[in-house]
Structure 1
Amino acid sequence: MLARLPRLRLPAWWKSALLYGALLAAGTGVLAWLDYQRLVRSHVAEVYDFLLAGGFLALGLWLGARLWGRRGGPAPAFDGNPRAQAALGISPREMAVLAELAAGHSNKEIAARLHVSPNTVKTHVARLFEKLGARRRTDALRRARELGLVP
């Protein structure tokens, strides 16, 4: 059986305090509305400029979405140029290392992401340099982008 809670009795002044609070809130609202009306009347040109700019912004976004949003359909999926990959003899693991290089990761980060040792990553990077004819990472990435191996 549920126990009955005792009924709370509010003091007599509580109703008058609530009434005065409501009147003060209403008065503040009226004053804020009057201040807003004065502000709008004294800055009519700025309000119209703001509304006009907002309208043109909305129109521009809508037109841009209609004209350029559907152009060409969805972008084709990136395939990594399997012909160039086969011609250079780049293994799938070396492609994974190349993708991580393109993302800007260090050897240690690549090793952690691919679950291999940093020495294995160094070996893959050295082989990629040989196959791409590069001396630095930036050269290798430039060459890989030219061949379409990485986006």
Structure 2
Amino acid sequence: MILYGLALAGGAFVLEWLDYKHAVRAWSTEFYVGVVAIFFVALGIWVGNRLTARPSGPAFERNIAAIRSLGISDRECEVLDLLASGAANKVIARRLGISPNTVKTHVARLFEKLEAANRTEAIHKARTLDILP
């Protein structure tokens, strides 16, 4: 807080000094306007950097060892990804080009392999094992 106060006081001092130099005609109006414009551009860049969201870290990598140890197939991983996005069985079937009954079979096998009773529990366990982001 003290640092921001000092920065604000310094900025006010610089602006008053520039205004004094402009008043006594030591500098031209164009120079004065240019310095003030540069100040506000720098302030805008600083504020933009402070308010812009940063990447959360390294990209997600699936835990291949967990997938292999549980015996989850590539197609089951695709179904699990779509389950995690909240898609219904019919939507999953359309996106993957398979029948809804096949999706039900994949979901049932995922429940068995993840030892889950429902979709929410399966997604939670998959995230815990780093199978899902």
Sort the TM-score into its range (normalised by shorter chain).
Answer: 0.5 to 0.7
Give the superposition deviation at 1:76: 2.6
Deviations 1:91-136 (A, max 9, x none): 0000000000011100000000000000000000000000001000
Normalised to the residue count of structure 1, the TM-score between the two structures is 0.54
TM-score by length of 2: 0.61
Q: Alignment partner for residue 89 of structure 1, among 64, 71, 78?
A: 71
Runs of 4+ in 1 over 4 A off after TM superposition: none
Q: Distance in 2 between matches of 1:141 and 1:74?
A: 21
1:149 partner letter: I
Shift of 1:63: 5.2
| Aligned-residue identity in percent | 51
Structure of greater Rg: 1
Q: CA RMSD in A?
A: 2.9
- Structure 1, residues 49-81: CA drift from partner, whole Å, max 9, x if none? xxxxx99x8375245279x85xxx884332211
- Name 2:109's counterpart in structure 1: 127
Matches within 5 A, 1:1-151: 58=44, 61-62=47-48, 64=50, 69=54, 75-151=57-133
CA distance in 1, matches of 2:57, 2:68: 24
Gaps of 5+ in 2: 1-39
Could you tell me how far apart the structure 1 residues matched to 2:49 and 2:81 are?
Answer: 37
